Amino acid sequence: MNKKIEEELKEFQKFRKNDSWTQKEIIQQEDNLYCDGELLQQKDEKPIGESLKWINVGYNLKGEYSKVLSNLFPYTFYFKGKKLNSIESFFQGIKMKDIELQNFVFSYSGLESNAVKVASDYNWQEKGIIYWQGTPMKRDSREYDELVDELYISAIQNPLYRNILKKIKKPIIHSIGKEQKEETVFTRYEFERMLNALVAFLKERNE
């Protein structure tokens, strides 16, 4: 592991042990969704990307930061010796049991990696097992959580992604994220907690 990433990862994991972040609740009132008293989604319309109180992350949402905070945005970085062209390419790649297929997915942007998942015959949801370079790993495990921590610390070595996180002044939410671990390799809670923790972590470092 790169020495800078190793040191920053240790600091980040120590920081998260004392992190007091609380997830914002999304409330339904009649046909509309609200978060922190602000309209989030009106009936069947597209969710709102940003309000005075929060930033709602979504690649197709309007807002200064909604798109660029998405895992689908094409940030290039190195993770465990592999060049990734988006954070999403990791999350789609680990659904591939075959190493060669996984490596191909890592080379794609977020939208592309999301589309090529149909190329795999392996269904990670059947047993809750994902793969990293041929090594099986339980989706719901500390080992997996630590792998994802390292992923994001690797991702923030990309100066564009890092600088955007440093500019965030509002809590981050992700209204379109799935809630259950058996449904997705990264839940709404996990995503929101990660991004808010990264923002707070970089702020504490006075960056």
Burial code of 130-166, b = ≥16 C-beta within 10 A, e = fewer?
bbbeeeeeebeeeebeebbbbbbbbbbbbeebbebbe
Among the listed residues 206, 199, 186, 102, the one whose alpha carbon sits nearest the alpha carbon of residue 156: 199
pLDDT recorded at residue 114: 81
Tokens, residue 203:
């702020």
Looking at residue 198, the DSSP 8-state letter turns out to be H
pLDDT recorded at residue 121: 87
Q: What is the value of pTM for the model shown?
A: 0.95
Please report the sign of the dihedral spanned by the C-alpha atoms of residue 48, residue 49, residue 50, residue 53: positive
Residue 108 pLDDT greater than 90, yes or no: no
Q: What is the full DSSP assignment across 69-114? A: TSTTS---EEETTEEES-HHHHHHHTT--SHHHHHHHHTS-HHHHH
Among 101-105, 135-139, 149-153, the range scoring the smallest mean pLDDT is 101-105
Among 53-67, 109-123, 160-174, the range scoring the smallest mean pLDDT is 109-123
Q: Taking residues 148-170, report their average pLDDT.
A: 98
Q: Which amino acid is at 171?
A: P
pLDDT recorded at residue 14: 95
**27 membership: H or E segment, kind and range:** strand 26-29
- What backbone phi and psi angles, to 5 degrees, belong to 33? -110, 140
